[in-house]
Amino acid sequence: MSLITCALCAAIALRLLFYRRAPGARHRHSMSFLAWLIVIVCAIVVVRIASGYHESTDPFVIILVGVFCAAVFSAEGNIARLCGVRPPKRSETELHA
């Protein structure tokens, strides 16, 4: 069970690490910090499981991590999209520039 959790956390961390913003997309510091925090937590879980400090994983935790992993991959690693943050509406002058 712990190996499943380890694989899911590694997948989340790697997907977030290899995320690339679309051309012209805004950089949001808060979303970058949240992505960084998720990568760090997932990496710590992977290291703890690999080093034997993590004894067992509850099946419901695996379901939770699995759903989160699916959401991250569905959003293509875009934490802003995952959180429901929408891009700002462009003004008329930006549209015709």
pLDDT in tens, 29-57: 999 999 999 999 999 999 999 999 887 88
91 versus 15: which is more confidently predicted? Answer: 15
| Sequence-ordered list of residues with C-beta below 8 angstroms from that of 25, at least 6 positions apart, any chain | 87
Average pLDDT over residues 4-21: 96
Q: What is the pLDDT of residue 91?
A: 59
Q: CA 2, CA 5: separation in Å to the nearest integer?
A: 5
In terms of pLDDT, which residue wins out, 90 or 2? 2
Instruction: Using alpha carbons, list the distances in angstroms from residue 97 to 2, 22, 89, 92, 94.
Output: 54, 20, 15, 9, 5
This prediction has a pTM of: 0.84
Contact status, residue 13 vs residue 42, Cβ threshold 8 Å: yes
**Phi/psi class of residue 24: alpha, beta or left (left: φ > 0; alpha: ψ in -120 to 50)?**
left
